[in-house]
């Protein structure tokens, strides 16, 4: 691990390089823009193939020490972005996984950051991007990034569009996708591209989605005829189900094995109308995790929630592993649920949250 290429870290022991499985490289904008990072990695000790077993490279990138003086170096830095990535690739020729953790707040560096990411992600099959800043990656610079197999991202406001674009470009090869974004449009864009055409992910086996939305149920989008995820084995919605129909469940009745779903009365009604939870709808389900949260729907009676709990237990009734997470607004209300829960022997985990 390099804390910074500009700091004196002593003479590394070349003899242990061949044992490394992962590289973690911490970078700052000053080091990148002044070329000191590239110069550091050009030392003889970091020869071609120095890390033969490394499959994963993690970059931690920030602009905390950057000031106005650094802007004069940006043109040179952008020109050297490709050389920097090529140097990493020669040092670790088997690396195919890239994780980027960014804390970039200045918009002056967006073009450079976008170019650097495009170069890095172009050589990868597995990408994980975590943004702690306000950085927005430019979509047009990612046009050559395709054939990703695994994509995971966590971004703030406005940062998810480029990763939806990456997913679409890799639609034919993507096997897992994890989305954590505050932008509700991300999940919509995953299914329908900018031209209004539906996108299908024929190899996608895992989809995880966490995007908070206050969209009213009657305004949730519907996708008539779309079958975007025909081979899903694992589907997880850690926030409320974001669609007005059963689009996530189409075509994968024979493959879906794991389901995590957040339910309220409105979402149950949508999925029930589309017969998602009929007994024979998904016979391969082996693990079912249901989240019920009263705080999202105040005003319903205890009996209403007991009915919803009973109905939710019809999802994958033969699944050997079931988990119920019940978030309640009153301390004693869960007691009324116990008779319903007691009739299901395959509930192995029950969490009752105050």
201-247 pLDDT tens trace: 999 999 998 876 677 777 889 999 999 999 999 999 888 888 999 99
Range from 27-36, 119-128, 140-149 that averages highest in pLDDT: 119-128
**Amino acid 345: pLDDT:** 58
130/116 Cα distance (integer angstroms) = 15
d(CA 55, CA 196): 37
At residue 203, the pLDDT reads 98
Q: What number is the average pLDDT over the span 35-61? A: 88
* Range of lowest pLDDT (82-91, 155-164, 231-240): 155-164
More confident call, 55 vs 316: 55
The confidence score (pLDDT) of residue 4 equals: 37
Give the pairing type, strands 150-154 and 258-263: unpaired
Q: Is the pLDDT of residue 50 over 60?
A: yes
Q: Which helix (H) or strand (E) holds 292?
A: strand 287-293
Helices (runs of H) and strands (runs of E) counted in the chain: 9, 12
Query: How far apart are the C-alpha atoms of 113 and 157, rounded to whole Å?
Result: 17
Q: Is 267:248 a contact under the CB 8 Å cutoff?
A: no
pLDDT at 8: 36
User: In this predicted structure, what is the pLDDT of residue 347?
Assistant: 66
Q: What is the DSSP string of 323-344?
A: EEEEE-SSTTGGGGGHHHHTT-
Q: Do the Cβ atoms of 179 and 127 come closer than 8 Å?
A: no
Sequence-separated (6 or more) residues with CB below 8 Å from residue 332:
none
- CA 16 to each of CA 26, 51, 172: distance values in angstroms, whole numbers, following the listed order: 20, 9, 39
**Distances in Å between the alpha carbon of 1 and those of 7, 22, 159, 219?**
12, 9, 28, 49
- 287-333 pLDDT, tens per residue? 888 887 666 566 666 677 777 777 777 777 777 777 777 665 555 55
Give the max Cα distance, the chain.
72
The reported pLDDT for the residue numbered 297 is: 62
Average pLDDT over the chain reads 80
226 vs 197: CA distance, rounded Å: 10
Cβ(206)–Cβ(233) below 8 Å:
yes
299 phi-psi bin (left φ>0, alpha ψ -120 to 50, beta other):
left
* Contact between 252 and 290 (Cβ < 8 Å): no
């Amino acid at each position: 691990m390099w804390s910074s290429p500009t700091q004196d870290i002593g003479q590394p022991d070349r003899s242990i390089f061949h044992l490394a499985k992962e590289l973690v490289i911490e970078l700052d904008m000053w080091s990148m823009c002044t070329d000191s990072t590239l110069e550091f990695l050009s030392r003889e000790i970091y020869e071609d193939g120095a890390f033969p077993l490394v499959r994963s490279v993690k970059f931690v990138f920030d602009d905390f020490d950057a000031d106005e003086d650094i802007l004069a170096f940006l043109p040179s830095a952008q020109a050297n972005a490709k050389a920097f990535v090529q140097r990493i690739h020669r040092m670790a020729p088997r690396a195919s996984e890239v994780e980027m953790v960014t804390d970039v707040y200045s918009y002056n560096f967006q073009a450079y950051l976008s170019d650097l990411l495009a170069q890095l992600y172009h050589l990868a099959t597995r990408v994980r991007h975590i943004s702690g800043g306000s950085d927005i990656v430019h979509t047009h610079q990612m046009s050559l990034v395709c054939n990703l197999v695994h994509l995971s991202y966590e971004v703030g406001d406005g940062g998810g569009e480029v990763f939806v674009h990456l997913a679409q470009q890799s639609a034919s090869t993507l096997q897992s996708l994890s989305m954590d974004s505050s932008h509700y449009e991300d999940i919509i864009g995953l299914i329908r591209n900018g031209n209004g055409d539906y996108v299908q992910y024929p190899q996608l086996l895992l989809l995880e989605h966490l995007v908070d939305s206050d969209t009213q149920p009657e305004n949730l989008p519907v996708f008539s005829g779309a079958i975007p995820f025909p081979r899903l084995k694992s589907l997880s919605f850690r926030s409320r189900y974001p669609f007005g129909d059963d689009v996530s469940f189409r075509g994968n009745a024979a493959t879906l094995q794991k389901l995590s779903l957040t339910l309220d009365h409105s979402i149950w009604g949508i999925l029930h109308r589309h017969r998602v939870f009929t007994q024979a709808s998904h016979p391969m389900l082996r693990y079912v995790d249901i989240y019920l949260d009263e705080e999202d729907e105040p005003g319903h009676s205890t009996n209403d929630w007991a009915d919803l709990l009973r109905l939710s237990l019809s999802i994958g009734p033969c699944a050997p592993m079931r988990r119920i997470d019940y978030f309640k607004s009153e301390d004693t209300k869960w007691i009324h649920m116990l008779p319903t829960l007691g009739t299901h022997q395959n509930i192995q985990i029950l969490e009752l949250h105050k």
